[in-house]
Amino acid sequence: MSTYKNFLNILEKSIQLANRDTEEVKLIAVSKKKPVADIQRVIDEGHLEFGENQIQEIEQKWPNLKKINSNIKLHFIGGIQSRKVHSIHENCDVIHSIDRAKIVKLFAEIEKSKNIHREYFIQINTGDEPQKSGVLLNEAEQFIADCISTSELNIVGLMCLPPVNEDPKKHFTRLRELGKKFNLRSLSMGMSGDYQAAIECGSTHIRIGTHIFGERD
């Protein structure tokens, strides 16, 4: 059995243990630093949703992959630089990491001019970590409200990356409660090390690399 199929079995059991429905949790296969051949193998096994965090890598790998596999959905999960917004919008279907008014404005302008609409998650810095992207907790409610009421972007949910040295459940619960206040049901939370806790806390999108592709070089 392939690594991918093996993880699908483990994931299904984790979802059942959390009393969730498998249809409620989307698996995003994080393919950063992985060659096209490895990605195509996972596509050939039936997987359609992938995540990358570097736009330069996306530009190299994904235009051709998406041409060959037209039903792929590509998620951008990295920090967003304003000069990369055009390329992110052009190449990605879902953007998980909007966190600044300037970025929101740029995406909104592109959507208006091109009439091409993407799905967006707002990244929340649930640990208020200075080195990490994301809206700070004390600014989160205002930022979310502004995005929903004024940007015209399709804001579908919230995303977080918990601090590595803290119980992730505290942060996942925090994100879930914040989402509830704004009726944002999609929660992008959980990676290879904490996806089970994320599922228990209501995650709808888990971002898994190692369990699917193996360790990165």
CATH of the domain at 26: 3.20.20.10
Domain with 14, as residue range(s), is 3-213
Residue 50 CA, distance from chain mean position: 9
Assess contact for 72 and 96: CB atoms under 8 A.
Answer: no
Residue 48 CA, distance from chain mean position: 14
Q: What pLDDT score does 214 carry?
A: 81
Which residues share a beta bridge with 206?
27
Q: Please state the pTM of the whole predicted model.
A: 0.96
Say how many domains are in the chain.
Answer: 1
Q: What pLDDT score does 203 carry?
A: 98
Q: What pLDDT score does 1 carry?
A: 73
Assess contact for 117 and 154: CB atoms under 8 A.
Answer: yes
The one-letter code for the residue type at 124 is I
Helices (H), 19-127: 36-44, 55-68, 85-91, 101-114
* Residue 57 CB contacts under 8 Å (≥ 6 apart), including other chains: 32, 33
pLDDT along the chain (217 residues), means of 10: 92 97 97 95 97 98 96 97 98 98 98 97 97 96 96 96 96 98 97 97 97 82
Q: Which residues of 156-184 are buried (b: 16+ CB within 10 A; e: fewer)?
A: bbbbbbbeeeeebeebbbbbbebbeebeb
